[in-house]
Amino acid sequence: MVKFGTIIASDLVDNGEVLLTSGEKLEANLFLPTYGQQPNTDFLPSQSLDEHGFVKVDERLEVSGLENVFAVGDMSNKEPPQYIFLERQASHMANNVIRLLKGEQLVPYKPFTKSESYTT
């Protein structure tokens, strides 16, 4: 079911109902919000965060303003918060850490392009 022109007013399932701003109530036994996730990054230096609290990384996935510190996945501002991106970023970062330990040059991360298709 798709509802247009309204949003969820209360995500608390109250008496088995979710309230919409239109005033309509939807029956629900279980409610799984998949929106509004916030990165838990308050403990990081503010200069390393963008205006939404995501960690700013450069093309090598290195955290902005910090040397040899990397960030991948949902907390990073590199790509949308999805597992498919995390998987590629994490593998790239691991290989870059190995290069770093060997004293080799770090390789830039290549984000997904629009022409690449992906499914999960």
Ligand X SMILES: Cc1cc2nc3c(=O)[nH]c(=O)nc-3n(C[C@H](O)[C@H](O)[C@H](O)COP(=O)(O)OP(=O)(O)OC[C@H]3O[C@@H](n4cnc5c(N)ncnc54)[C@H](O)[C@@H]3O)c2cc1C
| Binding footprint of ligand X on the chain (CB under 6 A) | 32, 34, 40, 73-74, 81-84, 86, 120
CA distances from 86 to 59, 61, 79 (A): 15, 11, 9
> H or E stretch including 9?
strand 8-14
Nearer to ligand X, 93 or 106 (CB): 93
Alpha-carbon distance of 61 to 112, in angstroms, equals 14
Q: Which of 55, 25, 19, 60 is nearest to 40 (CA)?
A: 55
Q: Which residues of 51-62 are buried (b: 16+ CB within 10 A; e: fewer)?
A: eeebbbbeebbb
Give least dist CB 105 to ligand X, A.
26
Task: In angstroms, give the least distance from the CB of 104 to ligand X.
Answer: 26
Nearer to ligand X, 41 or 106 (CB): 41
Write down the least CB distance from residue 38 to ligand X, Å. 11
The residue at minimum Cβ distance from ligand X is 73
- The smaller minimum CB distance to ligand X, of residues 15 and 113, is found at 113
Minimum separation from the CB atom of position 43 to ligand X (A): 6
